[in-house]
Amino acid sequence: MNIAFLGLGKMGAAMASHLVGRSEHTLTVWNRSVAKTEAFAMKGARVAATPIEAVQGADVVITSLLDDKSVEALFYSDSPLMNALRKDAIHLCLTTISPKCADRLQALHQEHCSRYVSGPVIGRPNVAQAGKLMQFLAGDASAMAEITPICEYFSENVKVLADVPASVANSQKLCLNFFAVATIEVMAECFTLGEKLGVPRENLAFFFDKALPAPALNVYVQKLFSRDTQSGAGFAMVGGKKDVSLMLQSASDVHCPLDIATVIANKMDSALALGLSDLDWSAIQEISRKRAGLD
Ligand SMILES: NC(=O)c1ccc[n+]([C@@H]2O[C@H](COP(=O)([O-])OP(=O)(O)OC[C@H]3O[C@@H](n4cnc5c(N)ncnc54)[C@H](OP(=O)(O)O)[C@@H]3O)[C@@H](O)[C@H]2O)c1
C-alpha cells in the first residue's frame, strides 16, 4: 500500500517508525516542522514538502496531528488536500479529536467518496514505540478491514467497533482518558494528603503499584511518587487540558454533569497559568501540593 503519514509528533513518530522500511508498503511522511522528518528520510521514507503532495496517490492517509483544529485545517470540503485525495482512499485519524469533529470528517469523506475511520489510541509514546498500543476503530467497514493489519504494526489490541458512527471510537477514547486522568488526580490527592498527615509516600506508592497492574495506569504511580513531571516522551499538560476540555464539551452536549473533570480542568488551568504546559499531565499533583502548602 502507499501510506501517507501526516504528523510526526511524539505519538506520530513512534507509530510511523513501525511503517518505515517495510517492503510491502511505501511510506510518505509530512510534518509541519521539517526537522522531525529527517530520521524517516534516512530510513527510506519519502518526505513530502506539503500535506497535499503527501496524499497524492496514497491508498491510506494516516493523521496524528494535535487536535480538531489541526486536522480540519487540512480536511474540509473542497480543500486542496481533499481535491488531491483519491476517491477511494482511506483516511485513518489517530488524533484524539472531538466526537463532533469525527462526525464532520465522516460526512466529508462520504461526500468525497473516500473512506473515513476514527482510530484513537491508548498508551504513551514509549508504548507506541514498543508496538503495544490499544486502539479503537470505527467508521467505514471495508476500510477498517483493510487497515487493521497496518494498525497491528503499532497496536497490540485493535478493537473494531462495528455498525456504529466513527465518532463512537472517539467518545470511547474520551471515557477511558477520563478514567486515566481521574485516577491520576485521586492518586495525586492521596499522596498530598498522606504527606500532610505524615504517611510515608512510599507506603502509598507500594499500595497503588499493587492496585494498578495495568501498565497504562501503573506508569503514573512512579511518576507521581517521584514527582517526575518532565513530559519527555509522554503526554504534555497542554494536550491533557485539550482532552479534558473535549470530555467536558462532549458531556455538556449530552447534558451529563462531569464533576471530577471540572476539578481537573481547574487544576490544569492553574498549571498552565504557572507555565507548566510542557510538563507531563500528571503534574496536576504539583497544584494539589501547592494548595496544601507543600513545596
Ligand atoms: N502523548 C500521549 O501520551 C498520547 C497518547 C494517546 C493519544 N495522544 C493524542 O495523540 C495526538 C498527538 O499527540 P502527541 O503527544 O504526539 O503531540 P505532539 O508531540 O505535540 O505532536 C503534535 C503533532 O501535531 C502537529 N501539529 C500541531 N498543530 C498543528 C497545526 N496547526 N498544523 C499542522 N500540524 C500541527 C505537530 O507538528 P510540529 O511537530 O510541527 O509541532 C506534531 O506533528 C493528540 O491528539 C494527543 O491527544 C497522545
Q: Tell me: the pLDDT tens digits for 100-145?
A: 999 999 999 999 999 999 999 999 999 999 999 999 999 999 999 9
Residue 295 is predicted with a pLDDT of 81
The CB of 280 under 6 Å from ligand 1? The reply is: no
How far, CA to CA in Å, does 187 sit from each of 181, 220, 280, 295?
10, 9, 15, 18
Residue 169 is predicted with a pLDDT of 98
Task: Give the range of the structural domain holding residue 60, as residue numbers without chain letter.
Answer: 2-165
Same domain, 158 and 177: no
Residue 214 is predicted with a pLDDT of 87
The number of distinct structural domains making up the chain is 2
Is 194 in contact with 201 (CB distance < 8 Å)?
A: yes
Residue 232 is predicted with a pLDDT of 65
Q: Which of 144, 165, 186 is the last residue of a domain?
A: 165
Same domain, 240 and 161: no
Query: Region 252-279: what's the mean pLDDT?
Result: 96
Same domain, 146 and 203: no
Is 106 in contact with 165 (CB distance < 8 Å)?
A: yes
The CB of 118 under 6 Å from ligand 1? The reply is: no
The CA 157 to ligand 1 mean position distance, Å, reads 22
Residue 215 is predicted with a pLDDT of 86
pLDDT in tens, 206-251: 999 999 998 889 999 999 999 999 866 689 999 999 999 999 999 9
Same domain, 195 and 119: no
The CA 277 to ligand 1 mean position distance, Å, reads 14
- Ligand 1 binding pocket mutation candidate from 5, 6, 8, 11 (most atoms within 8 A of CB): 11
Same domain, 13 and 106: yes
The CB of 239 under 6 Å from ligand 1? The reply is: yes
Same domain, 110 and 230: no
CA–CA gap between residue 5 and residue 149 (Å, rounded): 16
Same domain, 255 and 150: no
Q: In residues, how long is the chain?
A: 295
Q: Which of 165, 198, 232 is the last residue of a domain?
A: 165
Residue 52 is predicted with a pLDDT of 98
Q: Given phi > 0 = left and psi -120 to 50 = alpha, else beta, which region is 237?
A: alpha
CA–CA gap between residue 105 and residue 116 (Å, rounded): 7
Burial environment of residue 146 by CB neighbours within 10 A (0 to 12, 13 to 18, 19 or more) = middle
Closest-CA residue to 286 (of 243, 242, 232, 224)? 224
Residue 54 is predicted with a pLDDT of 98
- Ligand 1 binding pocket mutation candidate from 38, 65, 66 (most atoms within 8 A of CB): 66
Query: Region 257-281: what's the mean pLDDT?
Result: 96
Label residues 89-112 b or e (16+ Cβ within 10 Å = b).
Answer: bbbbbbbbbbbebbebbbebbeeb
The CA 65 to ligand 1 mean position distance, Å, reads 5
Residue 7 is predicted with a pLDDT of 98
Same domain, 201 and 154: no
pLDDT in tens, 85-99: 999 999 999 999 999
Closest-CA residue to 216 (of 98, 132, 151)? 132
Q: Which of 165, 197, 227 is the last residue of a domain?
A: 165
Q: What is the CATH number of the domain that holds 126?
A: 3.40.50.720
Same domain, 47 and 79: yes
Same domain, 53 and 193: no
| Among the ranges given (72-86, 156-170, 218-232, 254-268), the one the predictor scored with the smallest mean pLDDT | 218-232
The CA 200 to ligand 1 mean position distance, Å, reads 37
CA–CA gap between residue 29 and residue 281 (Å, rounded): 28
Q: What is the CATH number of the domain that holds 229?
A: 1.10.1040.10
Residue 234 is predicted with a pLDDT of 81
Same domain, 84 and 217: no
Catalytic annotation present for 242: no
Is 26 in contact with 32 (CB distance < 8 Å)?
A: no
Same domain, 31 and 106: yes
